[in-house]
Amino acid sequence: MVVNNENDWLAVADRVLSPNFNDRPEGAGISLLVIHNISLPPGQYGGGYIEQFFQNRLPVAEHEFFDSIKELQVSAHLLIERSGRVVQFVPLTKRAWHAGVSCHDGIENCNDFSIGIELEGTDHQSFTSEQYERLVAITKDIQSKFPAIKAGRIVGHSDIAPGRKTDPGPAFDWDRYLEKLS
């Protein structure tokens, strides 16, 4: 699953470019990996809504929940669907808009120095084996390209935005994931 150094896209990821990214601040090193979860509508899987959401093309009329998020402009670098399919929205060296108001080790604006990976899921439903396998492989590739991302620099969205965010949630098996990384 090698990262293509020429353009910072994963070789095996489907590319779906999001407009919701920009350049990182000059001199900002990539040193944090943030794990998220998302499902659209909440608790439902499939349908392509996450891709549409990250492209600002969410069909608002198709579900009442969509009206409440229609103005948001967000993205993540990567999405791992329930099947294990990987979608990349933003080149790894660019700043995706995934963390929002956030702080890690006293440094605010985690988007400046992090890579965001979304897992299709919810806080309270187990993630699939395919998702864990892909997440582990992708993490290892990212760590090889960005060696500052050590095990202690892999966090959940809830860790950098406590009280505001809860993902990846209690259903995410941190022990399983981190054990396979070592």
- The confidence score (pLDDT) of residue 157 equals 98
Domain extents in the chain: 3-181
| Active-site residue, selected from the candidate residues 118, 120, 130, 133 | 118
Please say if 118 is a catalytic residue. yes
For the chain, how long is the longest CA-to-CA vector? 45
For position 164, what pLDDT does the model report?
Answer: 97
| pLDDT on residue 178 | 97
Instruction: Give the residue ranges of the chain where pLDDT is below 50.
Output: none
Supply the pLDDT for residue 5: 58
Residue 12 is predicted with a pLDDT of 87
129-160 pLDDT per residue, tens: 999 999 999 999 999 999 999 989 999 999 99
pTM value is 0.96
Predicted local distance difference test score (pLDDT) of residue 31: 98
pLDDT of residue 7: 67
Q: What is the pLDDT of residue 51?
A: 98
CA distances from 67 to 38, 53, 62, 82 (A): 16, 12, 9, 25
CATH of domain 3-181: 3.40.80.10
From 140, 98, 159, 116, select the one nearest 30 (Cα to Cα): 116
